[in-house]
């Protein structure tokens, strides 16, 4: 199987699973693969936002050590090699193809056996009209294939530690893994959101030694304390009092935490919050036998690069790319824009995919006093139900045309925000960089 065929196989597999109980198929496959998950030591990143950022910071730090560290990012990338990383580097093309080919062949063998048993049942039926129970064929979702390929890669590279980002859906296949060493809840914890709270409960099981999170208020703290008490795991929280902001600009951030200084080439206070969560995770891993020096941690944070995570593509005019589609994350992005209103002004242009995201951004920015200069959306067909009540609204059908329209509408003293799901943002970002001459 070539890399192209592996990508095609993953993309043509089901996107989700309606019945999470069918995880028995995943476990059956893992058994045939000699249980690659059995002895894996890993930490799970869950929560509403910040998981990918923390994963990048952690693996960047361990890239400065002698440990072999694996990482799985669950949101699907356009290049699946970016989903599975070994020592902070994407998996090679041929290696990913070989793992997916192995999975494909085993599933084919399993289904051939199921078909043979179903035919045997039909032959053994007493009467032709008697109902015959049949086994359902095995059909893994994209995330289940990706997780299994990651387990094979981690095992082949003898990874001492793995970082796994959960996709926080009811059919999340990472729930079939043994309990992690650590569980980190990233982002906000909305106490009124029962689904979000239930997700946290589902990830917290006996065997976890420590949960790391940053509760926003006393209600959050109470819920998390109760969850940890039920499974007898330690609850660790960052100390906000020990965070000292030194400087914040469009190109970097400097801060101190627990008396030590760190620098990020990232923009926004929320990135400092993600860094502090990452520092607490690294402290916990140190206690569990995965130590890192201050120099390695400091260099790792400084080296962290995050395409499409409040990324500054251009300063004059200012163009910002952020792969956001979650309502809570939209609020965070808009708050981050407000941190730089003295530099960016209060007029902003938007480049978004067609859909409800348009009105969500317009509402959030308008509530903060922003003037919306123009809204440019990419849509293969004309969709009118989400058109906002303003003049400068443009629906464009081609990526190149979208980018040219966005740049033409932008003055040097104004800002443009490019946002949407990662697949959309990454493609538009690439075209912006081409048009800007990078």
Asked if residue 291 lies in contact with residue 394, where contact means CB atoms within 8 angstroms, the answer is no
User: How far, in Å, CA of 364 to CA of 366, rounded?
Assistant: 6
Half-sphere exposure of 328 (CA within 13 A, CB side): 12
Give the pLDDT of residue 168.
67
pLDDT score of 382 more than 60: no
* Domain residue limits, the chain: 3-99+139-243+270-303, 311-435
Provide the token pair at 82. 């970016």
CA nearest neighbour of 375 among 392, 353, 354? 392
pLDDT score of 386 more than 60: no
Asked if residue 328 lies in contact with residue 187, where contact means CB atoms within 8 angstroms, the answer is yes
pLDDT score of 95 more than 70: yes
User: How far, in Å, CA of 91 to CA of 45, rounded?
Assistant: 20
pLDDT score of 383 more than 50: no
| Out of 47-61, 101-115, 161-175, least confident range | 161-175
Say which residues have a Cβ less than 8 Å from residue 174's Cβ, sequence separation at least 6: 44, 74, 147, 164, 166, 167
pLDDT score of 129 more than 60: no
Mark residue 206 as left, alpha or beta (left: phi above 0; alpha: psi -120 to 50; beta: remaining): beta
Strands (E), 24-102: 42-47, 69-72, 84-86, 89-90
Provide the token pair at 353. 């995919």
CA nearest neighbour of 186 among 41, 40, 43? 43
User: How far, in Å, CA of 360 to CA of 358, rounded?
Assistant: 5
Give the pLDDT of residue 294.
96
Tell me how far CA of residue 325 lies from CA of 178, 329, 358, in angstroms: 30, 7, 10
Mean pLDDT estimate for the chain? 87
Pick the CATH number of 311-435 from 3.20.20.210, 3.40.50.300, 3.40.47.10, 3.90.190.20: 3.90.190.20
User: How far, in Å, CA of 45 to CA of 120, rounded?
Assistant: 45
Task: Give the mean pLDDT of 296-318.
Answer: 90
User: How far, in Å, CA of 430 to CA of 419, rounded?
Assistant: 13
Provide the token pair at 346. 């209060």
If you search the block for the tokens 């009124």, which residue do you land on?
A: 192
User: How far, in Å, CA of 34 to CA of 32, rounded?
Assistant: 5
Per residue in 250-261, pLDDT (tens digit) is: 888 999 999 999
Give the pLDDT of residue 130.
53
| Out of 21-30, 48-57, 156-165, 260-269, least confident range | 21-30
Give the pLDDT of residue 31.
92
Per residue in 210-219, pLDDT (tens digit) is: 999 988 778 7
Task: Give the mean pLDDT of 111-136.
Answer: 75
Asked if residue 186 lies in contact with residue 47, where contact means CB atoms within 8 angstroms, the answer is yes
pLDDT score of 16 more than 50: yes
Tell me how far CA of residue 27 lies from CA of 145, 175, 336, in angstroms: 12, 11, 43
Element (H, E) at 24: helix 24-32
Give the pLDDT of residue 21.
55
Q: pLDDT grade, residue 132 (50/70/90)?
A: low
Give the pLDDT of residue 279.
97
Give the pLDDT of residue 317.
82
User: How far, in Å, CA of 44 to CA of 35, rounded?
Assistant: 19
pLDDT score of 228 more than 80: yes
Give the range with max mean pLDDT: 155-164, 188-197, 207-216, 409-418: 155-164
Domain 3-99+139-243+270-303 of CATH type 3.40.50.10470: no
Q: Give percent of the chain above pLDDT 70.
A: 92
Position with higher pLDDT, 382 vs 195: 195
Give the pLDDT of residue 391.
62
Q: pLDDT grade, residue 188 (50/70/90)?
A: low
Per residue in 341-375, pLDDT (tens digit) is: 888 888 999 999 988 899 999 999 999 999 998 89
Provide the token pair at 50. 């910040």
pLDDT score of 229 more than 80: yes
């Amino acid at each position: 199987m070539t890399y192209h065929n592996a990508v095609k196989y993953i993309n043509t597999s089901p996107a989700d699973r309606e019945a999470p109980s069918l995880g028995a198929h995943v476990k059956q496959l893992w058994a045939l693969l000699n249980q690659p998950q059995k002895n894996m030591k890993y930490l799970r990143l869950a929560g509403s936002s910040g998981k990918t950022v923390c994963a990048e910071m952690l693996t960047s730090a361990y890239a400065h050590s002698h440990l072999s560290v694996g990482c799985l990012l669950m949101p699907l990338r356009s290049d699946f090699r970016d989903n599975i990383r070994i020592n902070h580097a994407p998996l090679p093309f041929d290696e990913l193809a070989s793992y997916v080919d192995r999975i494909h062949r085993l599933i084919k063998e399993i289904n051939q056996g199921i078909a043979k048993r179903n035919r045997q049942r039909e032959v053994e039926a007493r009467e032709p009209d008697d109902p015959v129970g049949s086994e359902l064929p095995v059909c893994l979702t994209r995330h289940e294939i990706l997780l299994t390929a990651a387990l094979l890669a981690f095992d082949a590279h003898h990874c001492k530690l793995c970082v796994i980002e959960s996709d926080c859906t009811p059919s999340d296949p990472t729930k079939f893994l043994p309990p992690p060493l650590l569980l980190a809840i990233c982002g906000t914890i909305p106490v009124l959101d029962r689904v979000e709270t239930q997700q946290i409960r589902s990830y917290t099981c006996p065997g976890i030694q420590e949960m790391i999170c940053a509760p926003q208020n006393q209600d959050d703290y109470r819920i998390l304390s109760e969850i940890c008490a039920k499974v007898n795991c330690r609850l660790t929280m960052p100390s906000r009092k020990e965070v000292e902001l030194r400087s914040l600009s469009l190109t970097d951030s400097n801060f101190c935490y627990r008396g030590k200084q760190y620098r990020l080439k990232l923009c926004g206070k929320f990135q400092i919050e993600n860094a502090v969560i990452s520092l607490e995770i690294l402290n916990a891993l140190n206690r569990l036998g995965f130590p890192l020096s201050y120099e390695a941690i400091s260099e790792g944070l400084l080296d962290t690069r995050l395409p499409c995570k409040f990324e500054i593509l251009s300063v004059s005019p200012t163009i910002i790319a952020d792969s956001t589609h979650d309502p809570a994350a939209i609020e965070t992005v808009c708050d981050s824009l407000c941190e730089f209103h003295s530099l960016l002004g209060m007029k902003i242009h938007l480049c978004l995919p067609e859909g409800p995201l348009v009105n969500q951004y317009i509402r959030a920015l308008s509530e903060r006093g922003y003037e919306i200069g123009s809204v440019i959306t990419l849509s293969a067909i004309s969709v009118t139900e989400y058109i906002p009540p303003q003049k400068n609204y443009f629906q464009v059908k081609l990526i190149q045309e979208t980018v040219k329209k966005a740049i033409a509408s932008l003055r040097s003293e104004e800002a443009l925000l490019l946002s949407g799901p990662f697949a959309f943002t990454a493609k538009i970002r690439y075209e912006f960089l081409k048009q800007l001459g990078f």
